[in-house]
Amino acid sequence: MEPIIAGRDLMKSWGPTLVLNHADFLLQAGDKAALVGPNGSGKSTLFRLIAGETKLDLGDLILKKGLRYGYLPQVPNVPQDTPVRDILSAPSPEALRIEAELAEMETWMAGKDAWSASDAPARMARYEALHQELGVARSRSDIVNDPILNDLGVGEELLDQSFGSLSGGEKSKVLTARALANAKEKDILFLDEPTNHMDIDTIEWIEEYLLGIDAAVLLASHDKFLLDAVAEKVLEVDHFRIFEYSGNYSEYRIQRDALQRAREAQRKRHFEDMQRQLAIIEEFKSRKVYNQVLSRKLAIQRLQRETPELAPSAARAFRLTFRKGGSAPGVVRAIGVAKSHSDRLLFADVDLEITKGDKVGLVGPNGCGKTTLLEVLIGHQEQDAGTVTRGRNLTIGYFAQEAEELDFSSTLLEEIRTVRHPPPPEEWARGMLGRFWFKGDTVHNTVGSLSGGERARLALAKFIAQEYDLLVLDEPTNHLDIESQEIVAGALQAYPGMLLIVSHNRSFLNEVCNKIAVIAHQRLAVFQGTFRDSWAAAKMADFIAVKQKPRYRVLRVVKDWETGDAYHGGDVITLTGAETQAFLRLLRWAEGSGRIERIET
């Protein structure tokens, strides 16, 4: 296979913080590689180095000449006032590379001796060829009318909005479309957390898309299902270096665990050998057998030179246990519940019962009203119709999305002490914070200064300090790396109370939940079993519904980027059974975002 990117002896620091040191890696044409490591290990730094957004301190990063790539950064690298239309029509990295080479050649052409040089004819031929390549590259750069906008649910009205005015999900979709478009003409895609802010349907489309292209992929994600489906090898950033494992993510974890046990045993034997040699030296010294001391010192020097490699780093764990309240078993029951927002119906005729032993995952497209339904069920919002009853003594803990319950102006100590009245002693508060890696002077930092992952850990620390009969969690794994997600999942598996969870993380739902509630077509359907089983049943139900050729009323303009057709308010879309998957995905997104509504027959 053809090497397309090679890193040799890479070193990179951010100020005093070392990120990469003596790191090597190789990517070949067609490789599907997962890039893994805990938050802060250097994954995004490696993406930025390859994309040319930052420079190495030392080492060599060699890219195939003329490398064509798509790049999705984890943190958007677009000025906030840039119109979305300009982002979708901006020159690709390939076009920018060609423009830079043309500029160099034009500088050469301006020299007084350029035309008399022996290589002038060859340079001019190259100059003409570059202009042709630039025309092709520019045409591929403009994806304003690309059908991929259907698949990702990018509405036409976004085109003239500024990037800064978009929601997090809309920003992700625009940049993901930019990175994935024309993948057939690219050598590799660099994707740093492509599932952020995406719903499950969109995540599954991204998965299918990546599996269907020949381009290489370097993918960082906290979605284990995605990494297992796509990756054929894993690059792990650990100990400032990059280590390669064969297979998908689950296979990598098995190999890594086996290597960790073997290396730790090897280092233990090495340490014991050193201690034994030192003890022998002391014994010889006490007996004044100095001629034997030298040979033993030489043996120690040999052992020092042969120090075994470090074992893979142990996961940085925190202690998490959810405690159930002491009230009698309670029930939450919704009958015929409906709710609208700004004259848009979110859901109606919702019937749901959560009782002892239930661990319910709530899923559905972005904008369908999942968070609203959570808040109606726990009494934070009033329903428009129907009834909600909750057990008289039921205690409910609510973990809001993006840690919204935190006071960003408080220090960590102040915030953790709000969980009890009167506030607990500082010693208790420091102990609780220490369980979640907040130690020393960091407890005096303000909540607003924390990263997304740190805020999630602080919110969890507050959450476990109290006892609840029902835990209601809205995206609890946001900003958590895979190892941290597994800790939360394990704690929820062991929790004896009731659970209601909104999440787009398929592996997390699969590990925790025994029921899946799906919001679709403004209705709620509940499926028994794990996420894998429930989602398959939900997909089959949706497939059967499409075969019944439903009709949709258009409420706001919907553009089909595949055909260029636009549907306006009042239009009716009737399915014939011959629609493409891209069009059906467009309808799911349009219904979820309130642009169309299904006409009941």
Nearest to 92 by CA among 179, 5, 172, 174: 179
3-state secondary structure of 519: strand
The answer to whether residues 585 and 204 touch, using CB atoms and an 8 Å cutoff, is no
Buried b / exposed e across 497-509, counting CB within 10 Å, b at 16+? Answer: bbbbbbbbbbbbb
pLDDT at 467: 84
What's the whole-number mean pLDDT along residues 477-496?
Answer: 87
Concatenate the DSSP letters of all residues of 200-227 into one string. HHHHHHHHHHHHT--SEEEEE-S-HHHH
Q: What is the pLDDT of residue 220?
A: 95
Distance from C-alpha of 38 to C-alpha of 484, rounded to nearest angstrom: 9
Q: What is the mean pLDDT of residues 549-576?
A: 89
Average pLDDT over residues 451-479: 84
**Mean pLDDT of the 435-439 span:** 83
The residue extents of the domains of the chain are 1-67+188-200+209-258, 82-186, 277-314, 323-536, 548-599
Cα 154 to Cα 148: distance, rounded to the nearest angstrom:
9
Q: For 111-135, what is each residue's pLDDT tens digit? A: 878 777 888 888 888 888 888 888 8
Task: Find out whether 45 and 54 touch, Cβ atoms under 8 Å.
Answer: yes
pLDDT tens digits, 12-24:
999 888 999 999 9
State pLDDT tens for residues 145-204.
Answer: 888 998 898 888 889 899 999 888 889 999 999 999 988 889 999 999 999 889 898 999
Helix (H) or strand (E) holding 305: helix 290-305
What does the pLDDT read at residue 228?
A: 95
Residue-level pLDDT at 572: 93
Residues present in the chain in total: 601
Q: Does residue 488 have a pLDDT over 80? A: yes
Contact status, residue 350 vs residue 337, Cβ threshold 8 Å: yes
Q: Which residues pair with 70 in a beta bridge?
A: 189
Residue 11 has pLDDT above 60, yes or no: yes
From 77-91, 300-314, 516-530, the region with the lowest mean pLDDT: 300-314
Stretch 273-284: mean pLDDT, rounded?
A: 77
Which pLDDT score is estimated for 315? Answer: 67
pLDDT at 292: 72
Q: Are 67 and 59 contacting, i.e. CB atoms less than 8 angstroms apart? A: no
The pLDDT value given to residue 126: 87
Burial class (CB in 10 A: 0-12, 13-18, 19+), 237: buried
C-alpha span between 1 and 241 (Å, rounded): 24
- Is pTM beyond 0.85? Reply is no
The residues near 92 (Cβ < 8 Å, ≥ 6 apart) are 68, 70, 137, 140, 141
Residues in CB range of 392: below 8 A, 6 or more apart = 330
Q: What pLDDT, on the 0 to 100 scale, is given for residue 393?
A: 84
Confidence of residue 280 (pLDDT cuts 50, 70, 90): confident
Of 120-124, 379-383, 452-456, which range is least confident? Answer: 452-456
Domain 323-536 has CATH 3.40.50.300: yes
What's the pLDDT score for residue 290? 62
Q: Do 541 and 519 contact (CB within 8 A), yes or no?
A: no
The sheet carrying 69-72 orders its strands as 69-72, 188-192, 216-220, 32-36, 233-238, 241-246
Query: Tokens representing 153?
Result: 């649910």
Q: Is 1-67+188-200+209-258 a domain of CATH 3.30.300.20?
A: no
Segment 293-344, tens digit of pLDDT: 677 777 777 767 777 777 788 766 666 777 776 665 678 999 999 999 888 8
DSSP 175-197: HHHHHHTTGGG-SEEEEESTTTT
The neighbour count for residue 95, using CB atoms within 10 Å, is 20
Average of pLDDT values for 506-514?
95
| CATH topology identical between 1-67+188-200+209-258 and 323-536 | yes
Q: Amino acid letter at 217?
A: V
Measure the CA–CA gap between 279 and 181, rounded to whole angstroms: 66
> How far apart are the C-alpha atoms of 588 and 335, rounded to whole Å?
26
Peptide bond just before 16 cis, omega within 30 deg: no
| Model pLDDT, residue 323 | 73
Which residues are CB-contacts of 32 (< 8 A; sequence separation ≥ 6)? 210, 216, 217, 219, 230, 231, 232, 233
Strand-strand pairing, 385-390 and 344-354:
unpaired
Gap between the Cα atoms of 536 and 540, Å rounded: 6
Question: How far apart, in Å, are the Cα atoms of 123 and each of 259, 396, 530?
Answer: 53, 73, 63
Task: Please give the span between the terminal C-alpha atoms of the chain, in angstroms, as a whole number.
Answer: 56
Q: What is the DSSP letter of 569?
A: T
Confidence band (pLDDT; 50, 70, 90) for 211?
very high
Q: What percent of the chain has pLDDT over 90?
A: 42
Using alpha carbons only, what angle is made at residue 384 by residues 380 and 388, rounded to the nearest 5 degrees?
55
pLDDT computed for residue 547 by the predictor = 63
- CA angle at residue 228 from 227 to 230, to 5 degrees? 65
pLDDT at 140 over 90: no
pLDDT for position 336: 96
Amino acid at 408: F
Give the Cα separation of 494 and 321 in Å (integer).
8
pLDDT of residue 335: 96
Average pLDDT of every residue of the chain: 87
**What pLDDT, on the 0 to 100 scale, is given for residue 402?**
64
The string of DSSP letters for 353-386 reads EE-TT-EEEEE--TTSSHHHHHHHHTTSS--SEE
| pLDDT score for 33 | 97
pLDDT score for 97: 82
- Partnered with residue 27 across adjacent β-strands are 5
Among all chains, which residue has been given the structure tokens 């299904």? Answer: 598
pLDDT at 260: 84
